Amino acid sequence: MSKTATKTAVVSGEQKLHAAQKPASLDVSTDWIWTYQEEPHRTRRHQIIKAHPEVTKLCGHEPLTKWVVLLVVSIQVATSYFVRDYSPLSWQFLLAAYVIGATANQNLFLAIHEISHNLAFRSPILNRLLAIVANLPIGIPYSASFRPYHLIHHKALGVEGLDTDLPTRFEAIFLDSVLGKAFFATFQIFFYALRPMMVFQIPMTKLHLLNVIVQIAFDVVIYKTMGGNALMYFLISAFLAGSLHPCAGHFIAEHYIFEKHLDTPTSSDPNILAAETYSYYGPLNFFTYNVGYHNEHHDFPAIPWSRLHKLKTIAAEFYDPLPYHSSWSWVIWEFITSKDLSLWSRVKREQSKKVTTAAWTKEEIGDVDEVPSKKTL
């Protein structure tokens, strides 16, 4: 079950001024939850830095990340070797792919997410190369494309036509049923992989080409040395990592509006910034680079996974009142079965309106020039 912490936060006058308007209705309908206000993370970031300037010392790279990546890549290669003689339809193969492979590949998805913010090395190019290494057991090259789309998601949270984390109207209309939502949750890895290219395309770069070449070379080596089943293990693991797997619950938990299912501050306390992002503080963060600390991550994308809990502790008066999930598995179940939740349950901003996005430093996102704007696409 999901819940919120006790509402005893110290709320500043500035926070009252920026308190978000409550949408007129959160009923499942044929439209999104529209807002014309800036996303809440920029406001909260400024408030936290003003109240606790020491949080900026948490920013920087985490040297442990590269070793975790190499360990998980090694685990996946070793497991693919051990299952190479089993049929992909056998219970032994599928159990290994679900329990070990999907968990490991979800970890690698989120390693790439972490690395996209230049949080593994000081050097941008070393971060790009490590992301390509993390990509290897996933079987399909995507790390080079993920970064620009993801940084735009941060810079333009909820902005229609820019934030490719948002479902399209086509998805929302045709999957607006229990069966449709079950289909979406089962195959969401494909939606997240294909949707960005349908919203807008980013230019091909030498990094994309390197990503493709290295991935194909790795796949060929695996196929030649261990056989097709070993390669199939990687692909099935990647599919299950983005399907009905507990760790995959974070995809839905992060930004879908669960207001009717949580005792949210926006329901009764006008002083708290409206929730467009939900955190999760449970044990699965151990496998997922603390991606559950999602409000904290959006507030300070320059703080690595290993120090997000310190941010929450230091700025407790800002985070304790916010609604949070305590189970990603519950999130998936509730999303599928509840009539009040659907792909429409997302906050959107029109690109044509004046939307203030986060003013990041170069250290926060690395090479700012690599992030394309809509005008250049």
What does the angle CA 348 – CA 175 – CA 168 come to, to the nearest 5 degrees?
35
* Predicted local confidence at residue 143, as pLDDT: 97
Of the given ranges (19-33, 43-57, 312-326), which has the lowest mean pLDDT? 19-33
**pTM of structure:** 0.85
Q: Which two tokens stand for residue 360?
A: 């990041």
Give the tens place of pLDDT for each residue, 55-97: 999 999 999 999 999 999 999 999 999 999 999 999 999 999 9
Task: Assess whether pLDDT exceeds 90 at residue 286.
Answer: yes
Per-residue pLDDT tens digits for 142-184? 999 999 999 999 999 999 899 999 999 999 999 999 999 999 9
Residue 235 tokens read as 């692909």
Number of Cβ within 10 Å of residue 125's Cβ equals 11
Task: Compute the chain's Rg from CA coordinates.
Answer: 20
d(CA 133, CA 127): 10
Beta-carbon count within 10 A of 248 CB: 25
Query: What is the predicted pLDDT for the residue at 350?
Result: 81
Give pLDDT tens digits for 291-331: 999 999 999 999 999 999 999 999 999 999 999 999 999 99
Residue 262's pLDDT is 61
Binned at pLDDT 50, 70 and 90, residue 31 comes out as confident
Q: Number of helices and strands (H, E) in the chain? A: 19, 5
Asked if pLDDT for residue 6 goes beyond 60, the answer is no
**Residue 91: what pLDDT?**
97
Please name which of 97, 60, 92, 130 lies closest in space to residue 363, comparing C-alpha atoms.
60
Of 196-205, 312-321, 330-339, the range with the lowest mean pLDDT is: 196-205
User: Is the Cβ–Cβ distance between 324 and 279 less than 8 Å?
Assistant: yes
CA distance 286 to 294: 14
Say which amino acid occupies 372. P
Q: With bands split at pLDDT 50, 70 and 90, how would you rate the model's confidence at 285?
A: very high
Q: What is the pLDDT of residue 351?
A: 72
The rounded distance, in Å, linking the Cα atoms of 197 and 211 is 17
| Structural contact between residues 156 and 357, judged by C-beta atoms closer than 8 angstroms | yes
φ, ψ at 279 (rounded to 5°): -95, 170
Confidence of residue 232 (pLDDT cuts 50, 70, 90): very high
The CA–CA distances, whole Å, from 73 to 246, 299, 370 equal 20, 30, 27
Strand runs (DSSP E) across 158-223, as ranges? none
pLDDT single digits (tens) 116-128: 999 999 999 999 9
Please, are residues 343 and 28 in contact by the beta-carbon 8 Å criterion?
no
